[in-house]
Structure 1
Amino acid sequence: MNLINEKVTHNRFGTGSIVKHNDSIIEIHFASENKKFVFPDVFEKHLKLHNQSAADSMEKIIHKVVMGRKEEEWRKEEEKKRQHKIQQLRSEHEKLMKNHKLHPQSQMAFWCDPEEQDISCSGWKVFSGVIKSGNNKGKPNKPIRLHQNSACLLTAIDSGKPEKDRRILGVYMVNENFIGKLCEDGYIPAHSEYRIQLTEQESDQMLFWKYYTNEKSPHKMTWNSGKYRYFDNVWMAQILLDIVSLKSDPKDRELAQEFFEYFCKMNQICDQEIPKPDGGLMSI
């Protein structure tokens, strides 16, 4: 919009004509001197164009500027709210991390459907499923026991096989900042380092029921419903120790050993005091 030589009236300096302007500054020649103003802000309250057509165009520009400012103020306010919420969550997270007490059964075993069995291809995370009944029906389950010390065990049973042949597919520590109580979407992400996926041959040697025992029916190997179940921290240590022994490749074995040591440290388990596995399979 070219405003050079357009006549204007300023509510303090009187009548003048525009001699220069750009996207941010406008210069006006008045009777005694030239004055510079912020463009287009000066037209909001202090300056008026004599040319009605130019004045109408300027009104549209001012309206656009005003709306832009309001939108920017709204964005800043929303960002302020967002940062406040983040700070609240961070404070709550830090409090939970600081006050966390180890639960003796803070590990989780998952029943993986066929499409979930290649955990590395699904981004190293599992979904805890949804609530089946009650007021929260349809909402994701909150894995409330999971914390920094928790590991997720991936299991599956081949079609046509009995439950006692359930295999372990892999295992991972939860993400180092994960807190189950704060999990809203039901997804449990893996730690950046401690994650192991077994080969098919290795998986065949790692049977879930060698370690796991049904509390109410120790001699029954049944998993009737549900995507997951919590289980004993020591049982997970047994599993990890056997995975270390199972690995033949030096690098894989080293990773498994580091995983095992990290897990024991996080769960305050002495690796010299881990008992032999005594799951349902061991009583057959």
Structure 2
Amino acid sequence: MNLINKKVTHKLFGTGNVVKHNDSSVEIHFATENKMFVFPDAFEKHLKLHDKNDANSLEEMIQKKAIERKEDEWKKEEELRLQRENQKLRLEHEKLMKHHKLHPESQMVFWCDIEEQHSSFSEWQVFSGAIKSGNNKGKPNKPVRLHQNSAVLLTAIDSSMPEKDRRILGVYMVNENFVGKLCEDGNIPAHSKYRLKLTEQESDQLFLWKYYTNIKSPSKIAWNTGKYRYFDNLWMAQILLDIISLKSEPKERELAQQFFKHFCKMNQITAQELPKPNGVLTRI
């Protein structure tokens, strides 16, 4: 918009002509002196253009700027709100970390159906499932025992096979910032580094029940219901140690060794004192 030489009226200085203007300022020559004003803000209250067409165009510009200003204010308010929420979450997280007590059974074994056998590795996360009854029916299960020391063991079984043949498909530590008590959507994401997928040949040599025992029925091999079980930290360490022995590819073996070392550190386990697997399969 070119306003040079356009006539304006100011409430205090009277009539004048525009001599300069840009996107942020306008200079007007009045009878005795030149004055600078903020553009286009000054035309909202103090200045009035004589030309109606220019005045209408300027009004549209002012309204557009007002909308943009409100949007900027809303964005800033939203950013502040998100900052406050993130700060609150950080404080909650720090509090939980500070007072966290290591649970002896803070590992999860997960039953993967056909679809999840693919999605668990492509997305590197699992869904804890929905609550089946009660006031919270339909809401995601909250994996309250999982913390930064926790790993998720992925398992599967062919529909034609007995439960004792449940194979281990892979394993991952939970995400570095994951806290089960704060998980509202039921999704359990993987650590950025510590995640292992077994080949079919490796999986065929690793059976869950070699390590796992139902404490209430120590001689029984049965999953019954549910998508997951919590289990002993030592059992997970035993599984990770055996995965190392199965890995022949150098990079995979190195990662498995680092995984095992990290897991033992997070769970205060001395690798040299780790007992041999004593799952129900070892006693049949």
Q: TM-score range by the shorter chain?
A: over 0.9
Partner of 2:172: 172
Q: Distance in 1 between matches of 2:150 and 2:15?
A: 77
Q: Distance in 2 between matches of 1:118 and 1:15?
A: 76
* 2:197 matches 1:204: no
Q: Tell whether the 8 Å contact from 1:119 to 1:197 is kept in structure 2 after alignment.
A: no
Deviations 1:37-91 (A, max 9, x none): 1110001111112223332332222222222212211211111111111111111
One-letter code aligned to 2:166: R
Deviations 1:139-173 (A, max 9, x none): 22111111111000000001200111000001111
**Residues 52 and 248 of structure 1: is their aligned pair in 2 closer, same or farther, counting only changes over 3 Å?**
closer
1:276, distance to aligned residue in structure 2 (A)? 1.6
One-letter code aligned to 2:62: I
Q: Distance in 2 between matches of 1:280 and 1:86?
A: 45
Partner of 2:133: 133
One-letter code aligned to 1:268: Q
Partner of 1:256: 256
Partner of 2:275: 275
Q: Distance in 2 between matches of 1:234 and 1:119?
A: 27
Deviations 1:4-38 (A, max 9, x none): 22211112221101122222111111111222211
Deviations 1:246-283 (A, max 9, x none): 22333332222221111111101111222221112122
Q: Distance in 1 between matches of 2:133 and 2:11?
A: 70
One-letter code aligned to 1:205: Q
Deviations 1:196-219 (A, max 9, x none): 111111111100011111121111
Q: How does 1:40-119 map to 2 (within 5 A)?
A: 40-118=40-118
Name the SS for the 1:272 alignment partner. Answer: helix
Q: CA RMSD in A?
A: 1.5
Q: Tell whether the 8 Å contact from 1:151 to 1:173 is kept in structure 2 after alignment.
A: yes
Q: Distance in 1 between matches of 2:235 and 2:228?
A: 15
Q: Distance in 2 between matches of 1:260 and 1:158?
A: 28
Q: Distance in 2 between matches of 1:263 and 1:12?
A: 77
One-letter code aligned to 2:15: T
User: Which runs of structure 1 show a deviation greater than 6 angstroms over 4 or more consecutive aligned residues?
Assistant: none
Q: Tell whether the 8 Å contact from 2:121 to 2:197 is kept in structure 1 after alignment.
A: no
Name the SS for the 2:155 alignment partner. Answer: strand
Q: Tell whether the 8 Å contact from 1:120 to 1:197 is kept in structure 2 after alignment.
A: no
Q: Distance in 1 between matches of 2:270 and 2:121?
A: 34
Partner of 1:157: 157
One-letter code aligned to 2:233: N
TM-score normalised by L of structure 1: 0.95
Q: Distance in 1 between matches of 2:75 and 2:203?
A: 52
Q: Which moved more, 1:92-101 or 1:80-89?
A: 92-101
**Residues 77 and 282 of structure 1: is their aligned pair in 2 closer, same or farther, counting only changes over 3 Å?**
same
Q: How many residues align?
A: 284
Deviations 1:232-252 (A, max 9, x none): 101111111111222233333
Q: Distance in 2 between matches of 1:165 and 1:130?
A: 27
Q: Distance in 2 between matches of 1:158 and 1:116?
A: 13
Name the SS for the 2:218 alignment partner. Answer: coil
Structure 2: gaps of 5 or more residues: none
